[in-house]
A = this chain, B = another copy of it.
């Protein structure tokens, strides 16, 4: 007699948006970002174990849908993510994402998770990992240019992990700045809302740019960037979308995640294909130098890479099993006799 109840093996734990919020609020937003940052850093340290490939993108007039797979030989992960700049005006999210973690040895998925919230956490986590190695040691003030969906996560992460005490907010839309200031009011960060980008960067040792326009923009011009700062450039992350004036890049030491992807998607798409950049993992592993002087401008040209999503999915997998905040999905067919798929269907009590 065929057992018609799906076995444990057929079940895939699913972390919904609601469960993700339960996990994150239970552990704390800043604490979760810090934990993911530690995982990202540990995974960067074993960078060479990962199967790395540029994301697989399907472009359309309205936007892009991407698959970002990677594997460390033991686990396989991928993220589905879209980017549709016009969505916001139509009442949809610009970016939505979900991801899967699987066992390499048998190919079975072991986690399905929402990743819209998780991507915001992992992006902030990757930023603080880079800043930990590149920012001036005594940085206390961060400018945040662009106060959209990513802004507060960045602010909290830099406060909690790097000891940033003041964030200076600027957005072309004052409503975005108000929203961010309101959300950050309950933290013990000093929040300063600014009317211009120039005002925002005043006294900042770290400048984070995180704007959404899908075009070649110039959020920062060359004369705005003084010596010694660390630039955390988040928003230039797809072909044709940049935030920094090219001259700034020429004065900076540039650090990237995965050069084949960043050359196409990052700020450095403005530079020659052989312009020298340093892979962040090499700095973390002690194979390359990070910040070497107080006058140096360091630039983390962040586009988001599959290994960072992998690190984040591994964190969520552990947190979901620890907290029980997940739902088992009957996602894998599991007939008693693997060759009797037809019999399983035919005899199902439907």
Residues of B within 8 A of A350 (CB): 18, 21-22, 25-26
- Tell me the smallest distance from the CB of A179 to a CB of chain B, in Å: 6
Chain B residue with Cβ nearest A5: B18
Residues of B within 8 A of A116 (CB): 332-333, 341
Interface of A: prevailing SS? mixed
Residues of B within 8 A of A84 (CB): 105-107
Q: A106-B82, A332-B93 are in contact. Are A339 and B148 (CB under 8 A)?
A: yes
> CB-defined interface of A72-102 with B at 8 Å, one 1/0 digit per residue?
0100101010111001101111101010101
Residues of B within 8 A of A10 (CB): 17
Bin the interface of chain A by size: 35 or more
**Cβ of A285 under 8 Å from chain B:** no
**Cβ of A194 under 8 Å from chain B:** no
**Complex contact A109–B104 (CB within 8 A):** no
Q: B22, B100, B105, B148: which contacts A62 (Cβ < 8 A)? A: B105
> CB-defined interface of A179-209 with B at 8 Å, one 1/0 digit per residue?
1101100000000000000000000000000
Residues of B within 8 A of A333 (CB): 17, 93, 96, 114, 116-117
Task: Determine how many copies of this chain the complex contains.
Answer: 2
Q: B22, B64, B334: which contacts A93 (Cβ < 8 A)? A: B334
- Tell me the smallest distance from the CB of A187 to a CB of chain B, in Å: 10
Interface residues of A (CB under 8 A from B): 6, 9-10, 14, 16-18, 21-22, 24-26, 29, 51, 53, 56, 58, 60, 62-65, 67, 69, 71, 73, 76, 78, 80, 82-84, 87-88, 90-94, 96, 98, 100, 102, 104-109, 112, 114, 116-117, 120, 147-153, 176, 179-180, 182-183, 329-335, 337-346, 348, 350
Excluding A25-B346, A96-B108, A183-B343, 4 further A-B contacts by CB distance (< 8 Å) are A17-B333, A29-B346, A58-B76, A147-B339
The 8 A-B residue pairs whose C-beta atoms are closest, nearest first, are A82-B107, A116-B333, A152-B342, A16-B330, A21-B348, A22-B350, A149-B341, A148-B339
